[in-house]
Amino acid sequence: MRIFGALLLIATLVPTLPRLQAQAPGENSTGSPTVIIQDGGGDQVLQSIYIPPIPNAPFTAIVHTQWIRSMIGGGTYTVVNERQVARDRAGRIYEERWLLVPKDGKWISQMNVIQVADPAAHTLLNCFLLQMPHRCVVQQYDDSPTANYRPSLMQTGALPNGDGFLTHEDLGFQTIAGIDTQGIRDTVTYNRGVIGNDRTYNKVREFWFAPSLEINLRSEVTSPDFGKQIFNLTDVGTADPDPKLFEIPGGFKVVDRRTPAAPNQ
């Protein structure tokens, strides 16, 4: 169960753009407060790479993320960030979360969350840097350090119920950052009308998996609904990371959100 993977969504929100207002907030002629409202819109989040809590496979790396989406009428817009990740010999995982910002734009990315997963203690620590007062929230972490973490290898063939077709491609082997990887590309083609689509819908997932680390060193996912997401790992080292990475930052209050165990009957 990828609890940690699901929780990663909280930390990669695109900065909110300024709202245009017809008039400044304040009071109207009746003396009542004026509240500016708008319909529509939505928050979008990005699922980044998954790092399993396996022991005896330490590494450090920088994750470079690009999220490219299409604009109505043509063209694209891209948001990016870079962040440090690490795993020690005990299987503990350290991840920084930085805000996604427009590529080559005026926005400056900020680190907003530090996450530490400890499989032995079954804890996931989320330390929020941009909130005041600073706090670290402890949640339950259940990903297993003894599981065999391998990508799902699909087989070429028709989808159930005549919904479309899946094409599986073996891309061979490649050395990335001095580490052997295996490349896979899976293309799922949905027929028109299967998922509300008025034309053929293709979703492509390509990744280069490093068996020695059980992570993808390069991953690219393309889909009409969320565009293209690219993740590249650079500066990959296989030495044990600095133990200080896994400590609670100084001055942070710890809040335990785990469900207490039920008392014995």
Distance between CA atoms of residues 119 and 122, nearest Å: 5
Looking at residue 200, its pLDDT comes to 94
Element (H, E) at 10: none
Looking at residue 123, its pLDDT comes to 96
25: exposed, middle or buried (Cβ count in 10 Å: 0-12, 13-18, 19+)? exposed
Give this prediction's pTM: 0.83
- SS3 readout for 206-265: EEEEECCCCEEEEEEEEECCCEEEEEEEEEEECCCCCHHHHCCCCCCEEEECCCCCCCCC
67-70: long-range contacts (C-beta < 8 A, 24 or more apart)? 67/100, 67/226, 67/227, 67/228, 67/229, 67/230, 68/227, 68/228, 68/229, 68/230, 69/226, 69/227, 69/228, 70/227
Looking at residue 5, its pLDDT comes to 39
Distance between CA atoms of residues 91 and 118, nearest Å: 7
Looking at residue 45, its pLDDT comes to 67
Mean pLDDT by 10 residues, the chain (265 residues): 38 40 51 82 76 97 96 93 97 96 89 96 96 93 91 87 95 95 96 94 95 96 93 96 95 90 60
Looking at residue 46, its pLDDT comes to 76
Looking at residue 71, its pLDDT comes to 92
Rg (CA), the chain: 22
C-beta separation of 229 from 220 below 8 A: yes
What SS3 class is residue 41? coil
Sketch the domain layout of the chain as residue ranges: 3-13+52-256
Looking at residue 219, its pLDDT comes to 96
Fold of 3-13+52-256: outer membrane lipoprotein receptor (LolB), chain A (2.50.20)
Distance between CA atoms of residues 159 and 40, nearest Å: 34
What are the backbone angles phi and psi of residue 52, rounded to the nearest 5°? Answer: -80, 160
